[in-house]
């Protein structure tokens, strides 16, 4: 059964509640929720899993873990692998390779890449979309909602989390009795709304805009500094999504918040290497 603690967190003289899904196993963070459906069931016909996304994706690594546990072949498509990463494998990329992932570079992006991968499905192949944006993710995220619903109601809290595909935020909004607030870290609000529509539409989270336009995967000194401040305050967060989340939360001065820590700490290895190369 999935379960993680809620811990108090004081940051910049404000009090927050943090749901520590980074403590979950065997998959860390929101991937434990998204892959719960597949972990707890047998799929006798499935021999192979295909997915796609960025070359250091947390989902890529988590799916490689799932496939290793289940004995499935794992093929992953990405539109670019930097030569430095090929020559110096590290982070999620390296760990997924260790788990047996076969990664394929392909000159497709966005919807074109998605349509190509969806076309590879057959009776022995499971397709897990980028970032775990699939309806099967709902089962594990509903468990998360059940874990925090009464706590949020009792303490008059709103739920906040940054979004990539927005899958976790979407299903939380569907199952919680309190407001769910998110901010886009990949693309913009229009992109995020499109992801919600792909998952089924209906009740959706409240979207707040980031302080400024942050380009996904680009390095920003102010976000790195904020990440360092958060770590000094007592919790290490993901270095790709969470700094944008916290920057947006602070910019909009959100109060009475339960912040969902969605894991992704392993990805910090590669992000820190990139920051060191750029800023020294």
pLDDT digits (tens, 9 = 90+) for 234-273: 999 999 999 999 999 999 999 999 999 999 998 898 899 9
DSSP at 41: S
| Inter-residue contact 236 to 261 (CB < 8 Å) | no
Residues 212-244 have pLDDT tens digits of 999 998 999 999 999 999 999 999 999 999 999
DSSP at 231: H
Over 60: is that where the pLDDT of 1 sits?
A: no
Residue 108, beta-bridge partner list: none
The class (CATH top level) of 32-133 is alpha beta
| Inter-residue contact 9 to 233 (CB < 8 Å) | yes
Per-domain boundaries in the chain: 6-25+136-279, 32-133
- Answer yes or no: same fold for 6-25+136-279 and 32-133: yes
Percentage of the chain beyond pLDDT 70 is: 100
The class (CATH top level) of 6-25+136-279 is alpha beta
The sheet with strand 158-163 has its strands ordered as 6-11, 14-20, 257-261, 158-163, 180-184, 206-207
């Amino acid at each position: 059964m999935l379960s993680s603690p809620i811990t108090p967190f004081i940051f910049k003289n404000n009090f927050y509640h943090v749901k520590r899904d980074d403590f979950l196993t065997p998959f860390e963070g929101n991937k434990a929720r998204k892959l719960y459906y597949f972990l707890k069931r047998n799929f006798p016909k499935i021999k192979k899993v295909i997915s796609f996304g960025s070359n250091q994706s947390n989902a890529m690594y988590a799916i490689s873990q799932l496939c290793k546990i289940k004995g499935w072949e794992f093929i992953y498509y990405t539109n670019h692998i930097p030569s430095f990463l090929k020559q110096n494998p590290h982070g999620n990329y390296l760990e997924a390779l260790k788990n047996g992932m076969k990664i394929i570079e392909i000159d497709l992006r966005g919807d074109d890449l998605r349509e190509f991968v969806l076309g590879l499905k057959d009776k022995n192949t499971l397709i897990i979309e980028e970032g775990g944006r699939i309806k099967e993710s709902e089962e594990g995220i509903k468990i998360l909602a059940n874990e925090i619903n009464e706590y949020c109601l009792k303490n008059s809290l709103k739920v906040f989390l940054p979004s990539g595909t927005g899958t976790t935020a979407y299903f939380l909004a569907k199952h919680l009795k309190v407001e769910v607030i998110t901010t886009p870290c990949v693309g913009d609000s229009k992109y995020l709304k499109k992801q919600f529509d792909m998952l089924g539409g209906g009740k959706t989270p409240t979207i707040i805009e980031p302080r400024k336009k942050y380009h996904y995967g680009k390095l920003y000194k102010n976000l790195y500094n904020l990440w360092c401040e958060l770590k000094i305050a007592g919790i290490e967060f993901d270095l790709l999504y969470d700094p944008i989340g916290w920057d947006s939360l602070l910019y909009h001065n959100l109060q009475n918040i339960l912040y969902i820590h969605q894991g992704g700490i392993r990805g910090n290895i590669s992000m820190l290497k990139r920051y060191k190369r750029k800023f020294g």
